[in-house]
Amino acid sequence: MSTSYPSPRTYNHILAPRKFIQGKRRFSVYWTWSYPWEANRDVTELDNRFSTITEVRRVAWPVYETIEYSEKMFLQGISGTLELFHLSIVRFQQVVESVTGQPTAVYQRIDQAGQRLPIDERILRDTDTLMIFGLDHMITEQEASTEEIESLREWLKREGTCLIIGPHHDVGFSEDLQQRQLEYKHHGDPLVPRQQRFGTYTRSIMKGLGVPVENRFGLRPATIKGTKNQLVALNKNADFDKHRLLEGVSTFNFHMHLPHYAVTTEDQDLIHVLAKQPIDMAHPHPFIEAGNTEFNMFLWMPPNHERAGDILLADSTIFTTLFGGDESLERFWKNIALL
């Protein structure tokens, strides 16, 4: 009797181009970070760095107190936390491949071995949906070049393309330390420092492509009373959801500090907010004090006379399993795969 095994993982692998198949989208994920710069950050610095896996283990105890996360099996510094992000998109990759029949390629701007890969034809030629996950700390100075922006602009002229941009939160941008503490108390995550600013790379992409959005704050979504992480349903705008991306979707997944995608244009035809997330109002926050009760969660820029492809904005964490997931979230992934 033969035994069925999952396919083995490979490293130092050069991607074989994926063939175009009508209706079977080819997904690519692009982590915007410099892995070495993030992993080599001084752990005595309080702000603008990822946690070490040791810090994660301490806060999440006993979740990671298993042999696979021990020093025998897993990196214990900041690099271990970066690897958690890689592991957390495996389920998304599996779901997308089950729909499209195509493997999802994963790239890093600068990888563990210091190999630099800007966004260019090597990535774009066999990609229909490109997901740019903006988890680069601003302090690491990642910024899209003119050539990268022009490559994306040309790629988006191709019918059937979709760019998903996921700038992460911008916590503690104010120089007022009391405001930073207010923001920290609002989201309540001990692993997030008083200042954690993400997304220079995605901001440069949005500026270069004329995407009128800015990622702001890190807001805690509202949960159903009596539950720890069961979210209050999204406030959906079905009238603008032309691709039915939110059909059958009531919530994404719980994350303690999600960015508000502030629209910076008055042109109501240029971009549409497809979903807003109610805010946890239990703890004050400057955004709440300004009169807001929900934040922009999922946005769509339809094609125009210069661009054939769609542009979507959604936080990277809703494509991972680090913070849970359910049938509603997987339905969203499948809807994206069928775009």
pLDDT in tens, 186-196: 999 999 999 99
Q: Mean pLDDT throughout 263-288?
A: 97
**Does 44 fall in a domain?**
yes
Residue 231 has which token pair? Answer: 């979210």
Phi-psi region of 133 (alpha: psi -120 to 50; beta: other; left: phi over 0): beta
Confidence of residue 3 (pLDDT cuts 50, 70, 90): low
pLDDT at 42 over 80: yes
- Domain of 229? 27-337
Which residue bears the tokens 């966004």?
119
- Residue 177: predicted pLDDT: 97
What does pTM read for this prediction? 0.96
Confidence of residue 325 (pLDDT cuts 50, 70, 90): confident
For residue 301, the Cα-to-chain-centroid distance in whole angstroms is 17
Mean pLDDT of 103-118: 96
Give yes or no for residue 153 having a pLDDT over 60. yes
Strand order in the sheet with 294-301: 105-110, 27-34, 129-134, 162-167, 310-314, 294-301, 272-278, 235-236
Is residue 12 assigned to a domain?
A: no
Mean pLDDT score across all residues of the chain: 95
Do the domain assignments include residue 51?
yes
Number of domains in the chain: 1
Mean pLDDT, residues 88-102? 96
**What is the reported pLDDT for 338?**
95
- For residue 22, tell me if it sits in a domain: no
Exposure letters 254-283 (e unless 16+ CB within 10 A, then b): bbbbbbbbebeeeeeeebbbbbbbbbbeee
Flag whether 133 is in a domain. yes
- 7 is a domain residue: no
- What does the pLDDT read at residue 15? 81
**Residue 296 pLDDT grade (very low, low, confident, very high; cuts 50, 70, 90):** very high
Asked whether residue 267 is domain-assigned, the answer is: yes
For residues 198 and 216, give the distance between their C-alpha atoms in angstroms, rounded to a whole number.
Answer: 10
- pLDDT score for 4: 66
Q: Is the dihedral of CA 236, 239, 241, 244 positive or negative?
A: positive
Give the contacts of 31 (CB within 8 A, at least 6 positions apart): 85, 106, 107, 108, 109, 133, 135
pLDDT greater than 60 at residue 225: yes
185 pLDDT above the threshold of 80 = yes
Tokens of 223: 């949960």
The distance from CA 263 to its chain's CA centroid, rounded to whole angstroms, is 18
The residue-averaged pLDDT of 135-141 equals 97
- pLDDT value at residue 2: 57
Cis-peptide, bond into residue 62, ω within 30° of zero = yes
Q: Band of the pLDDT at 10, cuts 50, 70, 90?
A: confident
Instruction: With respect to residue 1, please indicate whether it lies within any of the assigned structural domains.
Output: no
> Which among 199, 255, 192, 259 is positioned nearest to 51, based on CA atoms?
192
Range name among 17-21, 165-169, 230-234, 284-288 with the lowest pLDDT average? 17-21
- Report the pLDDT averaged over residues 78-104: 96
